[in-house]
Chains A and B, each alone.
Chain A
Amino acid sequence: MKLLIVDDSNIIRRKIRRSNKVGDLEVVGSACNGLEAVELVKQTQPDLVTMDLTMPEMDGIESIEKILEVKPDTRILVVSALADKATAIRALTIGARGFICKPFTEDELNDAFEQLLEDI
């Protein structure tokens, strides 16, 4: 399983990378904005992507749409501080598979990954 981590914060990217479940995955790259994320999806063809929403250059929502155009079977987990329902519904409607809010606990992140990896 190939994973791409997208977040404008290096700290968060590294925190995700250090989590248990991610240990079993092959992290193929990390991006700090939506534009970079789309490019990296083209290059590395990841199975999974964790996606922040509030980012410079291109925000997460637009990035999800672009990524799914490039590689429709990408399973995207949104990891964002935006805690309102409308944002989550929007992200899931355009094709994200999961949504967790920052700050997250290790367990929450692991559970989210488990759900993301279901029936693979």
Chain B
Amino acid sequence: MLLHDLGKYRGIVAAITLFLVLDTCVLALNYFVSKEIQQETESVNLAGRQGMLTQKLLKSLYELQDDLAVNLDVQENFQEFADTFELFDVTLVALKEGGMVPVIDINDAEKIDVKPVNSEAAMQSVDAGLQLWQQYREILGPIINNGSTQVSLLDIHESIATVKETNATLLKFMNDLTRYMEQQANEKTQMLQYVELAAVIAAVLNFFVIMFIFVGRLKKNDEQLELSQKENAEILGTVKEGLFLLDQELIIGSQYSQELVNIFGRQDLDGKKLAVLLKDMVSDSELQLSEDYIGLLFKEHVNENLIQSLNPLKQIEVNLLGATGLFETKYLSFQFNRVRVNKRVSHVLVTVMDRTVEVELERELEEAKTKAKGEVDSLVSILSIEKSAFIDFLDKASDGINLINEELKSSNQDHKAYMANVVQFQRIIHSIKGDASALDVSPVEKKTHEMEDVLTDIRNSDEITGNSFLPFTVKLDELFSQIGSLRLLSEQIANISDQHSDAQPIAQSNTQSFAEINSLVKRVAEDENKMVNLVTQGLDSHHVPPAYIRKVREVAVQLVRNAVVHGIEEPNKRVELGKSPQGTIKASFLKKADGNYSLTIIDDGAGLSVNRIKRHALQNDLVSEQDIEKMSNGEILNLIFQPGFSTASDVSMHAGRGVGLDVIKQSVMEAGGKMKLSYKQNKGCRFEIVLPGKITTTTKTYNETDQNIGVEQVNHEVVNS
């Protein structure tokens, strides 16, 4: 079980274990054998002492004999003799049978445990010694037993004779014994050396085995590890995403990609808490949410798909300190994936992507859009507008907005009705735009221009649904607000001017109602790079009846603008045609002899071109090719009064949206008037609007168009000369 767990380290652990076991065995052997050798050395020493004791025994006998001869006290030498005898006896018996032997002399308390000799030769020497010693015992034993008081010179003489005779032999036996025992001890020592040598050899072999096999294997492993680390490093250094692992404590792992460093602009991520990384980037509540979210990843029971759909860091905007020392705004996208080990979530792999470039592109697009939508309320120009004209404008715009809203409310849900709505709205919005342009109320002009864009989009979409109008309704709301705030502004301005001066005479104000046509011509001409001189006659409140002021102004503004945009050529072109570079537009209002009123707008521009009208009508799908072949020039000219017709080659603020003449036509018809158009190629164009002398006004400025009223009810007089 344990070995199994060791995996690839099993071999080396086994080898080291073997080495240790071997070492232990040798050590144990060494210990025991050494101990034995020590014992044997002691025995050898004892055997050596026996030789000395034989000599000492004889010497003590002579001394005893000397003492007895001179009648001295024998006590001391007798004791010496007895002790020597006793020590030799004990030692010899112990060498034969084993036993305890005193170390220094017979009375010594310290004793050595002597083992019986076990080699053949030594045993023979011991046995021979014992046999000889038996004689010593028989002669010397009784003398010692009788004690020193009983000892006689005769006994000693006899003893010396025996001992002298055999002493050399006994000494020889004892010396032999010593030699044999020494030999045995030497053999053991040698054996021990052999065993140790063998052990050392085994250890060395083991070492080489470990060296060559396992070190080789380890080296190979290391190489593989190094390779995979290198590959790891290459991958982490190259990937375009910030990669790192998070553990359950939300601590960042030691390995992370270089891109992560680049993204966060800091190196010290290893072992940091995620919160440290995110702290300065997201709000506290977002941080808490993110931590809770990652917590869910470690909750096994929460479904992976559900989790993925909840990622709160899918895209975040962060401000990071860049390399330049300045804060940079980045858009980061975090992705979290569970990392499973043994089926349990061990870590969360975090992928951080820098989406700044994409998001910024999106933002730029968005910004460009908002800028286009932007309400740059440059209201300064409004201050210069004559008050009643401004109020008039606001009233008319409000009427228009309300009418549109009513139409939105009651619109039928089919494509045709929607289409009719779009056309009608275009007309109303265009008219508000015209007025705004005339008065130079640029915010409204911009807003209505945008609304025209929206309407064009709706018109061009394959299928119009109720929902298609949503962007238009939103803009209508904005226009509503704009008009509201303009009204508020005009009231405030009125309050101010009321405080400072008396009300201006009405007549003057009405004259000024038409004055803005001049500034309009100037502005439009500038925008179109044209030179235009406007000559007006009778366009003032002395000549225009009050009931017609709004209508005449509206129509005059549209027609004069059309004349600048479509009629008058660019100065170069005019010079080529032999005309003066500056074009002239004459706008006059007069009461005719028959009591009717006449508004005439004459320009010395290009006139009308039947071919151009044809081409545009075909391009804008107003008529089919077959139909147009059958049409007379007069009928073709009538096309310019159709909704959706435009002769301007590009769409600008000032014209060319396919509404214009149809608006005028509508307006004239409402008043029960007539419209005449004549032109001469390259010479100019003349519009005459005749309004009835007996005024029958409708209260509504905008009427639901009766779709049955066609062009034929408008009286055109086409002069082709």
Q: Is chain B in direct contact with chain A in the complex (CB below 8 A)? A: yes
Task: Write the residues of chain A forming the contact surface with B, with a CB cutoff of 8 angstroms.
Answer: 85-86, 88-90, 92-93, 97-99, 115, 118
Supposing A89-B310, A89-B312 touch, asked if A115 and B303 sit within 8 A by C-beta, the answer is yes
Query: 1/0 per residue B673-704: CB within 8 Å of A?
Result: 00000000000000000000000000000000
Pick out which of these stretches binds chain A: B113-121, B294-302, B586-594: B294-302
Minimum-distance CB pairs A-B, first 3? A93-B292, A85-B310, A89-B293
Whether A92 and B302, one on each chain, are in contact in the complex, defined by CB atoms closer than 8 angstroms, is yes
The B278-309 residues at the A interface (CB cut-off 8 A) are 289, 292-293, 295-296, 299, 301-303, 306, 309
- Write out the residue numbers on chain A whose beta carbons fall within 8 Å of the beta carbon of B312: 85-86, 89
Task: Write the residues of chain B forming the contact surface with A, with a CB cutoff of 8 angstroms.
Answer: 289, 292-293, 295-296, 299, 301-303, 306, 309-312
Minimal beta-carbon separation of B309 from chain A (angstroms) = 8
Whether B302 and A97, one on each chain, are in contact in the complex, defined by CB atoms closer than 8 angstroms, is yes
Whether A99 and B296, one on each chain, are in contact in the complex, defined by CB atoms closer than 8 angstroms, is no
Whether A89 and B292, one on each chain, are in contact in the complex, defined by CB atoms closer than 8 angstroms, is yes
Whether B303 and A90, one on each chain, are in contact in the complex, defined by CB atoms closer than 8 angstroms, is no
- Write out the residue numbers on chain B whose beta carbons fall within 8 Å of the beta carbon of A93: 292, 295-296
Cα distance A118–B302 in the bound complex, in angstroms: 11
- Write out the residue numbers on chain A whose beta carbons fall within 8 Å of the beta carbon of B310: 85, 88-89, 92
Cα distance A86–B293 in the bound complex, in angstroms: 9
Whether A86 and B289, one on each chain, are in contact in the complex, defined by CB atoms closer than 8 angstroms, is yes
Whether A92 and B299, one on each chain, are in contact in the complex, defined by CB atoms closer than 8 angstroms, is yes
- Write out the residue numbers on chain B whose beta carbons fall within 8 Å of the beta carbon of A98: 302-303, 306
Closest A residue to B291 by beta carbon equals: A93
- Write out the residue numbers on chain A whose beta carbons fall within 8 Å of the beta carbon of B303: 98, 115
Supposing A85-B311, A89-B312 touch, asked if A99 and B292 sit within 8 A by C-beta, the answer is no
Whether A89 and B306, one on each chain, are in contact in the complex, defined by CB atoms closer than 8 angstroms, is no
> Given contacts A92-B296, A92-B302, A98-B302, could you give 16 more A-B pairs where the C-beta distance is less than 8 Å?
A85-B289, A85-B309, A85-B310, A85-B311, A85-B312, A86-B312, A88-B306, A88-B310, A89-B296, A89-B310, A92-B310, A93-B295, A93-B296, A98-B303, A99-B306, A118-B301
Cα distance A86–B313 in the bound complex, in angstroms: 11
Closest B residue to A101 by beta carbon equals: B309
Minimal beta-carbon separation of A83 from chain B (angstroms) = 10
Cα distance A95–B145 in the bound complex, in angstroms: 106
- Write out the residue numbers on chain A whose beta carbons fall within 8 Å of the beta carbon of B299: 92
Cα distance A115–B306 in the bound complex, in angstroms: 11
Cα distance A97–B309 in the bound complex, in angstroms: 15
- Write out the residue numbers on chain B whose beta carbons fall within 8 Å of the beta carbon of A115: 303
Cα distance A92–B302 in the bound complex, in angstroms: 8
- Write out the residue numbers on chain B whose beta carbons fall within 8 Å of the beta carbon of A90: 289, 292
Cα distance A118–B309 in the bound complex, in angstroms: 20
Whether A97 and B301, one on each chain, are in contact in the complex, defined by CB atoms closer than 8 angstroms, is yes
Minimal beta-carbon separation of B312 from chain A (angstroms) = 5
Closest A residue to B307 by beta carbon equals: A92
Can you offer 8 A-B residue contacts whose CB atoms are under 8 A? A85-B289, A86-B289, A89-B293, A89-B312, A90-B292, A92-B310, A93-B292, A115-B303
Cα distance A98–B303 in the bound complex, in angstroms: 7
Minimal beta-carbon separation of B283 from chain A (angstroms) = 12
Closest B residue to A99 by beta carbon equals: B306
- Write out the residue numbers on chain B whose beta carbons fall within 8 Å of the beta carbon of A88: 306, 310
